[in-house]
Amino acid sequence: MQDTLAHLKRGEHAVITDVSSIHIPLKLLEMGCLPGNSVELVQVAPFADPMYLNINGSHLAIRKETASHILIEKVTHE
């Protein structure tokens, strides 16, 4: 199974590969959560939820449930 954003660990980087548009509010897409954009998990609240992300330079927090609808590919940082 492919990784989703919910699997990302703190400090890890990834690239968004697909978003399930039925489950994702348009507002999130407009804030930069789109295929091809980079994403970093900045911080997590207890129980890893919500997640504080840096998507394409935008800093925002979303719930883990929403994050599980965003497919990613992890990037190993050099």
Partner 1 sequence: MSKQINVALIGNPNTGKTSVFNALTGLNQKVGNYPGITVEKKEGICKLPRGVKAHIIDLPGTYSLNASSLDENVVIELLLNKNDKDFPDIAVVVSDVENLKRNLLLFTQIKDLEIPTLLVINMADRMRYKGISLDIEYLEEQLQTKIALISTRKNEGIDYLKSLITNFKDLSITPCLNASEIDTEYFDSLRKAFPNQLLYKLWLVITQDVNFGKTTRNEIEAVANFKTKSKADLKRLQQKETIKRYQFINNVLKKGQTIDVSQAKDLRTKLDRVLTHKVWGYLIFVIILLTIFQAIYDWSSVPMDFIDGIFASLSEWTKDMLPKGAFTNLLAEGIIPGLGGIVIFIPQIAFLFLFIAILEESGYMSRVVFLMDRIMRRFGLSGKSVVPLISGTACAIPAIMATRNIESWKERLITILVTPFTTCSARLPVYLIIIALVIPEGRVLGLSYQALTLMLLYLIGFGTAVFSAYLLNKILKIKSKTFFVVEMPNYKLPLFKNVVLTVIEKTKSFVFGAGKIILAISIVLWFLASYGPGDEFNDAENIVTIANSSENLTEEELQQKIASHKLEHSFIGITGRAIEPAIRPLGYDWKIGIAIVSSFAAREVFVGTLATIYSVGNDDEDTIKNRMAGEVNPILGGPLFTFASGISLLLFYAFAMQCMSTLAIVKKETNSWKWPTLQLVIMTAIAYITALIAFQFLK
Catalogue the E-assigned strands of the chain.
13-19, 38-44, 51-55, 58-62, 70-75
Q: Which of residues 4-33 bind partner 1 (CB under 8 A)?
A: 19, 21-22, 25-32
Least separation in angstroms between CB 61 and partner 1: 5
Check whether the bond before 35 is cis (ω within 30° of 0). Answer: no
Least separation in angstroms between CB 19 and partner 1: 8
Per CB under 8 A, 74 contacts partner 1? no
What are the structure tokens assigned to 34, written together? 């789109």
Least separation in angstroms between CB 78 and partner 1: 14
